[in-house]
């Protein structure tokens, strides 16, 4: 019995580790929050909305629709959706703290959404949002703007209604104290209406609005009918009890052009001079806007480099969308380990993070974040420190950080349940080391911060260095590949971030992955630097020697240089003789169902060998600058870069060689090629950065590196800029044949690194 008890306890320990936080002081101290960034446009998934950085927040948001829809369909805009088919939208300027200005080009009118903040009092101060509409081809269009507020937690909200018009919302909540949201009546109002109702969740706000739209007749023109909100509505639960009213929506129906302002005033801000409205809004906005221009030029020096106005605006939009897309999320991940049958909850936590794409992936992604912070840290170090701190606080006692952060109900509604669960054996490249390294090198990280992040980075490094090892010393392997599937042409490696990039055809423990080895080499170097900076001498020695060991080019070549492909390579149980075929499930039966399966077409089957795919993975020793500048292997890598039959395209480096058997191949019947040819900006950024490094480091290939640097940088900037002009967006990937943007858009996560390629500040 005692043994059984001990066994159970032991087992429980293994279980609980999954959702036990690392035992180390948190980087982010919640009581010391910088209140200048308390309010922000942290609802990344909305076209426009402000919330606070508190777990349960007052949530505000904008919806709109044209009363005369071009196609006759009522289409209320709210969350960013590609299917809305907007010609263009995004932040033109956004400083991450005080001010933002966004342009939205709808079918036959244009909106500008702006906000300005003024800090004062104890609760983050005031802000004003201004929404301006302009006509575009249809002078008779009438637009309804709906601005709402609802609170996720316990708050007291009291509407002020005069003559059936909602003029303000007074409220009180623990994080905001007392406050008022004013709805000053704008000119050009054709009709005004409001809704006061019960919303069960923030993500059901639009449904509630749709359910409470009525046809209304205009007093001035009885023939004209408008869609308007129903006013006060009472809802009851199953037992007939009245549900509390917690959603308030102001609807202004307006003729174009118009300016509408919504003013939030914090009760504890008692020294306010005048209301932030009209000309005082305009003045403050203009001040912040020129401050933005000045700082942008100071940081990125694009005008000084000779870029024209249009190009500077494109770069400003790139930075602004990355900064303006920063979100604040609160909740827990669904996680699982090998000791669990069913997924369980991680602890509740906050995440302040930039997001890859507002319409498609409005949430945190671990390896994307390292790229985001490379840019953001050059704009505002404090924001980067804050964001990196939030991520490192998500580490559990095992040293693991879940890769995709789907926190809170609103985020979960966006993701199919199969994709929600995160497994604690799965990694994602430790890219956070890139911005940390860049900030350490610039000397902008204080010792206190370094001391806080060090134990967490140590745990993280150690997790990689134990769970992601290969079979041979100094080799590494991405775990989590599916060895049993017969559906995939090449089983995906989601953990590496390069999802369907070809690896060994038959996943096994014999695999070794060259990209992961390089990430570890790079990470150990940074760990040594930080250990030294914080005076941890013995750690510094240890990490330095690991770094030397993993960077040893002879060892690297021994495990990863394929002389057959004349390239760095993964190694594993592999054959290139695979293809997808349609198998008839009941042969001989007419109309029998079919299934697409992968088969091996060669008699001898897979064997232990180099994978020999030339592409992003084979470039890693170069990308992360592990490769010795004097190594003849560098010459070979540079040759592949420049070869149009392999990686070179007019629009940047393609992810996989044009000559690879898997180039542009579907992975299953339905999975289109992703990292199998398209041009991705994060890796191209690393390539441009590495070329700049090899061009400025003495060695035999300096000149070649310099020449390729110039061409590659030029091709990437030129194409992304012209695609932005043509399509209105920055994209997730670019087609290697046409240069056209592909995949989700706007995608202003790592694709915004184009700004750094323009500025050449790496
Ligand atoms: C699945 C679909 C409505 C894929 O940019 C984020 C990631 C990258 O980290 C990764 O390297 N993207 C890249 O290969 C997008 C991943 C999106 C997965 C979402 C659920 C629901 O969408």
Mean pLDDT lowest among 315-319, 409-413, 581-585, 692-696: 409-413
Ligand 1 proximity of 419 Cβ (cutoff 6 Å): yes
H or E segment and range at residue 158: strand 156-162
Give yes or no for residue 1 having a pLDDT over 60: no
Q: What's the pLDDT band for 417 if we cut at 50, 70, 90? A: confident
Which residue has better confidence, 656 or 13? 656
Q: Which residues contact 173 (CB under 8 A, 6 or more apart)?
A: 58, 151, 153, 154, 155, 156, 179
Give yes or no for residue 33 having a pLDDT over 70: yes
Q: What's the pLDDT band for 499 if we cut at 50, 70, 90? A: very high
Nearest Cα neighbor of 390 from 401, 399, 380, 374 is: 401
- Supply the pLDDT for residue 411: 87
Cα(497) to ligand 1 centroid in Å equals 9
- Compute the distance between CA of residue 722 and CA of residue 229 in angstroms, rounded to an integer: 43
Tokens representing 320 are 């602004």
Instruction: List the beta bridge partners of residue 59.
Output: 150
3-class DSSP assignment, residue 90: strand
- Residue of 82, 334, 353, 356 to mutate, ligand 1, most atoms within 8 A of C-beta: 356
Ligand 1 proximity of 415 Cβ (cutoff 6 Å): yes
- Compute the distance between CA of residue 654 and CA of residue 737 in angstroms, rounded to an integer: 10
Tokens representing 105 are 């080009």
Cα(361) to ligand 1 centroid in Å equals 7
Q: What is the mean pLDDT of residues 338-357?
A: 94
Ligand 1 proximity of 359 Cβ (cutoff 6 Å): no
User: How does DSSP classify residue 567?
Assistant: E
Atom of ligand 1 nearest to the CA of 499: 14
Residues 141-173: pLDDT tens digits? 999 999 999 999 999 999 999 999 999 999 999
Atom of ligand 1 nearest to the CA of 494: 14
Handedness of CA 45, 48, 52, 57 (dihedral sign): negative
Residues 89-123: pLDDT tens digits? 999 999 999 999 999 999 999 999 999 999 999 99
Give the other-Cβ count within 10 Å of 421's Cβ: 16
H or E segment and range at residue 533: helix 514-533
For residues 12-27, b (16+ Cβ closer than 10 Å) or e, as one string?
A: eeeeeebbeebebeeb
Which residue has better confidence, 70 or 309? 309
Instruction: List the beta bridge partners of residue 652.
Output: 649
Give the other-Cβ count within 10 Å of 322's Cβ: 29
Q: What is the mean pLDDT of residues 406-429?
A: 90
Mean pLDDT lowest among 358-362, 572-576, 680-684: 358-362
- Contact between 439 and 376 under an 8 Å Cβ cutoff? The reply is no
Q: What's the pLDDT band for 653 if we cut at 50, 70, 90? A: very high
Atom of ligand 1 nearest to the CA of 357: 5
Residue 103 among the catalytic residues: no
Nearest Cα neighbor of 78 from 254, 206, 204 is: 206
3-class DSSP assignment, residue 708: helix
- Supply the Cα-derived Rg of the chain in whole angstroms: 28
- Contact between 676 and 663 under an 8 Å Cβ cutoff? The reply is yes
Nearest Cα neighbor of 89 from 293, 325, 250, 310 is: 325
Atom of ligand 1 nearest to the CA of 675: 14
| Backbone torsion region of residue 306, taken as left when φ is above 0, otherwise alpha when ψ lies between -120 and 50, otherwise beta | left
What does each C-alpha distance from 179 to 99, 169, 175, 176, 250 come to in angstroms? 20, 8, 11, 7, 17
Q: What's the pLDDT band for 288 if we cut at 50, 70, 90? A: very high
What does each C-alpha distance from 533 to 437, 440, 443, 526, 583 come to in angstroms? 12, 9, 10, 10, 61
- Compute the distance between CA of residue 431 and CA of residue 428 in angstroms, rounded to an integer: 8
- The catalytic residue among 114, 732, 735, 736 is 732
Give yes or no for residue 721 having a pLDDT over 90: yes
Mean pLDDT of the chain: 95
What does each C-alpha distance from 697 to 524, 690, 694, 700, 708 come to in angstroms? 22, 10, 5, 10, 15
Residues 303-317: pLDDT tens digits? 999 999 999 999 999
Q: Which residue stretches of 380-432 are H helix?
A: 381-392, 408-412, 417-420
Q: What's the pLDDT band for 221 if we cut at 50, 70, 90? A: confident
Q: How many CA atoms lie less than 13 Å away from 221 in the CB half-sphere?
A: 6
What does each C-alpha distance from 287 to 39, 99, 459, 631 come to in angstroms? 19, 10, 45, 53
- The catalytic residue among 84, 293, 499, 557 is 499
Nearest C-alpha to atom 20 of ligand 1 is from which residue? 415
Cα–Cα–Cα angle for 150, 153, 156, nearest 5°? Answer: 65
Q: What's the pTM?
A: 0.96
Residues 444-477: pLDDT tens digits? 999 999 999 999 999 999 999 999 999 999 999 9
Residue 500 among the catalytic residues: no
Q: What are phi and psi of 231, to 5 degrees?
A: 85, -145
Between strands 126-135 and 109-118, the pairing is antiparallel
- Supply the pLDDT for residue 131: 98
Q: Which residues contact 754 (CB under 8 A, 6 or more apart)?
A: 315, 318, 681, 685, 716, 717, 720, 730
């Amino acid at each position: 019995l005692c043994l059984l008890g001990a066994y159970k306890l032991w087992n429980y320990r293994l279980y609980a580790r999954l959702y036990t936080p690392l035992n180390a002081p948190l980087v982010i101290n919640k009581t010391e929050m910088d209140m200048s960034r308390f309010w922000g446009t942290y609802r990344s998934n909305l076209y426009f909305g402000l919330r606070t950085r508190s777990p349960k927040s007052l949530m505000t948001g904008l919806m709109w629709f044209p009363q005369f829809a071009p196609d006759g369909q009522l289409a209320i805009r709210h969350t960013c959706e590609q299917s809305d088919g907007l010609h263009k939208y995004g932040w033109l300027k956004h400083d991450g703290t005080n001010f933002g200005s966004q342009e939205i080009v709808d079918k036959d009118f244009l909106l500008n959404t702006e906000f300005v903040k003024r800090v004062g009092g104890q609760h983050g101060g005031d802000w004003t949002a201004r929404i301006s509409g302009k006509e575009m081809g249809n002078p008779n269009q009438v637009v309804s703007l709906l601005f709402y507020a609802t609170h996720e937690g316990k708050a007291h909200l009291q509407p002020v209604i005069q003559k059936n018009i909602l003029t303000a919302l007074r409220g009180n909540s623990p994080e905001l104290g007392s406050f008022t949201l004013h709805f000053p009546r704008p000119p050009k109002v054709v009709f005004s209406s409001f809704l006061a109702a019960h919303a069960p969740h923030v993500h059901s706000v639009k449904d509630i609005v749709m359910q409470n739209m009525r046809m209304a007749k205009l007093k001035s023109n009885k023939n004209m009918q408008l869609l308007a909100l129903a006013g006060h509505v009472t809802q009851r639960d199953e037992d007939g009890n009245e549900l509390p009213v917690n959603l308030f929506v102001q609807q202004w129906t307006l003729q174009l052009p118009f300016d509408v302002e919504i003013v939030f005033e914090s009760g504890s801000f008692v020294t306010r001079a005048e209301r932030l409205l009209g000309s005082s809004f305009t003045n403050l906005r203009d001040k912040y806007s020129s401050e933005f221009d000045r700082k942008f030029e100071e940081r990125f020096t694009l005008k000084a480099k000779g870029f024209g106005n249009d190009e500077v605006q494109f770069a400003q939009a790139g930075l602004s969308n990355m900064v303006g897309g920063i979100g604040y999320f609160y909740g827990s991940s669904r996680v699982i380990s090998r000791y669990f049958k069913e997924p369980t909850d991680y602890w509740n936590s906050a995440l302040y993070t930039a997001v890859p794409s507002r319409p498609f992936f409005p949430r945190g992604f671990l390896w994307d974040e390292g790229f985001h912070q490379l840019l953001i840290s050059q704009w505002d170090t404090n924001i980067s420190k804050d964001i990196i701190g939030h991520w490192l606080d998500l580490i559990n006692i095992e040293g693991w950080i879940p890769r995709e952060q789907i926190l809170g109900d609103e985020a979960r509604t966006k993701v199919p349940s199969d994709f929600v669960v995160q497994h604690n054996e799965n990694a994602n490249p430790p890219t956070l080391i890139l911005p940390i390294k860049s900030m350490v090198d610039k000397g902008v990280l204080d010792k206190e911060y370094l001391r806080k992040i060090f134990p967490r980075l140590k745990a993280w490094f150690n997790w990689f260095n134990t769970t992601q090892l290969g079979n041979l010393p100094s080799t590494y392997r991405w775990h989590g590949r599916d060895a049993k599937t017969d559906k995939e042409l090449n089983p995906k490696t989601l953990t590496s971030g390069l999802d369907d990039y070809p690896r060994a055809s038959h996943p096994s423990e014999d695999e070794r992955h060259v990209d992961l080895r390089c990430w570890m080499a790079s990470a150990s170097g940074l760990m040594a630097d930080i250990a030294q900076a914080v005076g941890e001498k013995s750690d510094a020695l240890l990490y330095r020697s690991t770094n030397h060991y993993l960077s040893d080019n002879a060892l690297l070549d021994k495990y990863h240089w394929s002389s057959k492909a004349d390239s760095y390579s993964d190694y594993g149980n592999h054959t290139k003789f695979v293809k997808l075929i349609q198998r008839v499930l009941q042969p001989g039966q007419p109309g029998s169902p079919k299934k697409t399966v992968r088969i091996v077409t060669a008699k001898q089957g897979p064997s232990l060998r180099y994978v020999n795919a030339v592409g992003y993975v084979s470039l890693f020793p170069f990308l992360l600058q592990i490769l010795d500048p004097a190594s003849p292997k560098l010459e070979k890598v540079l040759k592949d870069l420049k070869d149009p039959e392999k990686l070179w395209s007019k629009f940047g480096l393609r992810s996989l060689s044009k000559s690879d058997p898997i180039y542009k191949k579907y992975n299953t019947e339905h999975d289109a090629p992703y990292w199998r040819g398209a041009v991705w900006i994060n890796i191209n950024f690393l390539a441009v950065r590495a070329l700049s490094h090899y061009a400025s480091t003495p060695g035999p290939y300096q000149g070649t590196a310099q020449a390729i640097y110039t061409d590659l940088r030029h091709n990437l900037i030129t194409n992304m800029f012209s695609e932005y002009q043509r399509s209105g967006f920055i994209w997730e990937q670019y087609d290697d044949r046409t240069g056209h943007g592909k995949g989700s858009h706007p995608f202003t996560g790592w694709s915004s690194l184009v700004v750094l390629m323009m500025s050449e500040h790496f």
